[in-house]
């Protein structure tokens, strides 16, 4: 599950982006611990919680530093609204009697679920890195008439004809094959989805532009970066809004990679 702070509330999402529950600040307790040693870490706070037998499965811990000289404090956000004073006392009492921890204080503070510098923190974004492979193939539409081939290419390039909903680039080519002089005018469609078949192409076209022949190449991983990037972006956007989309060049030649904040 993923938790995200939205307009002062915390939404918890299941797989696929379905909302599991929505929480507001009054559903939580936030405790601030001050007077910590300079080397205190999240692990240090977890040890303190273990000592008092506190279940940590629903506790969010953040250690922050403020001011000069550097002063450490910790914020504990618990998924229960009734334990603030009791847990603060349990955390403070065993330690404050020791000289080294004499300044340690634990006290409830207001819970804020939005990102506020220096106070509490909500989880506003998740960065996800995708790697993907997407195979494509080339379709060759063969015509005996040059004008028909030219119009067909224009219709694909302008988006009037689409294959499986995608706009593809089409290049007109004059064939020099002596074995097929009856179909010298070709339309070369690149980046055709590997799953597309003859029907997926012919049903998008006017009948008068139907080619005399239609051939496919063997599927490969030569799809353009723009096409594959747009395809994956659409899949991500279908789950929820994206805060940023950053394509990245990957060292592996057949792999496409992108960083997403959502």
DSSP element (H, E) containing 38: none
Residue 262 structure tokens: 């959502």
Q: Which whole number is the average pLDDT over 196-221?
A: 90
Question: pLDDT category, 13, cuts 50, 70, 90?
Answer: low
Annotation: CATH topology of 29-109: Alpha-Beta Plaits (3.30.70)
Check residues 31 and 70 and name the one with the higher pLDDT.
31
Question: pLDDT category, 123, cuts 50, 70, 90?
Answer: very low
How remote is the C-alpha of 45 from its chain's centroid?
31
Burial of 254 (0-12, 13-18, 19+ CB in 10 A): exposed
Name, of 88-102, 144-158, 219-233, the range with top average pLDDT.
144-158
Residue 256 has pLDDT above 60, yes or no: no
Q: Which whole number is the average pLDDT over 206-231?
A: 80
Strand partners, 30: 77, 109
Q: How many percent of the chain have pLDDT more than 70?
A: 65
Q: Kindly report the CA angle at 187 between 181 and 193, in degrees rounded to 5?
A: 130
Classified as helix, coil or strand, 4 is strand
Question: pLDDT category, 182, cuts 50, 70, 90?
Answer: confident
Question: pLDDT category, 212, cuts 50, 70, 90?
Answer: very high
Q: Which whole number is the average pLDDT over 1-6?
A: 54
Which position has the token pair 């990679």? 257
pLDDT of 162 reads 93
Task: Tell me the domain boundaries of the chain.
Answer: 29-109, 127-261
Check residues 206 and 223 and name the one with the higher pLDDT.
206
Q: Kindly report the CA angle at 20 between 114 and 6, in degrees rounded to 5?
A: 20
Tell me: cis bond preceding 135? Omega within 30 of 0 counts: no
Name, of 20-34, 132-146, 200-214, 222-236, the range with top average pLDDT.
200-214
Question: pLDDT category, 159, cuts 50, 70, 90?
Answer: very high
Mean of pLDDT over the chain: 75
Burial of 116 (0-12, 13-18, 19+ CB in 10 A): exposed
Name, of 24-33, 37-46, 118-127, 156-165, the range with top average pLDDT.
156-165
Q: Which whole number is the average pLDDT over 102-114?
A: 79
Burial of 170 (0-12, 13-18, 19+ CB in 10 A): buried
pLDDT of 154 reads 93
């Amino acid at each position: 599950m993923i938790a995200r702070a939205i307009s002062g509330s915390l939404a918890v999402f299941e797989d696929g982006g379905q909302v599991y529950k929505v929480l507001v600040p009054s559903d939580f307790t936030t405790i601030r611990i001050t007077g910590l040693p300079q080397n205190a870490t999240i692990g240090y706070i977890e040890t303190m919680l273990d000592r008092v037998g506190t279940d940590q499965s629903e506790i969010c811990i953040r250690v922050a530093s403020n001011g000069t000289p550097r002063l450490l404090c910790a914020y504990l956000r618990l998924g229960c609204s009734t334990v603030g004073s009791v847990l603060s006392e349990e955390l403070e009492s065993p330690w404050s009697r020791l000289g080294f921890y004499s300044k340690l204080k634990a006290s409830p503070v207001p819970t804020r679920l939005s990102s506020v510098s220096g106070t509490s923190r909500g989880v506003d974004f998740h960065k996800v890195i995708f790697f993907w492979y997407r195979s494509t193939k080339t379709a060759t539409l063969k015509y005996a008439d040059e004008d028909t081939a030219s119009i067909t290419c224009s219709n694909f390039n302008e988006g009037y004809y689409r294959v499986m909903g995608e706009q593809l680039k089409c290049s007109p080519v004059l064939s020099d094959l002596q074995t097929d002089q009856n179909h010298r005018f070709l339309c070369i469609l690149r980046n055709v989805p590997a799953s597309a078949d003859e029907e997926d192409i012919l049903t998008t076209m006017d009948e008068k532009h139907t080619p005399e022949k239609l051939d496919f190449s063997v599927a490969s991983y030569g799809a353009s970066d723009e096409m594959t990037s747009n395809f994956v972006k659409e899949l991500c956007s279908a789950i929820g809004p994206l805060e940023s989309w950053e394509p990245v060049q990957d060292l592996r030649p057949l792999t496409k990679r992108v960083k997403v904040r959502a």
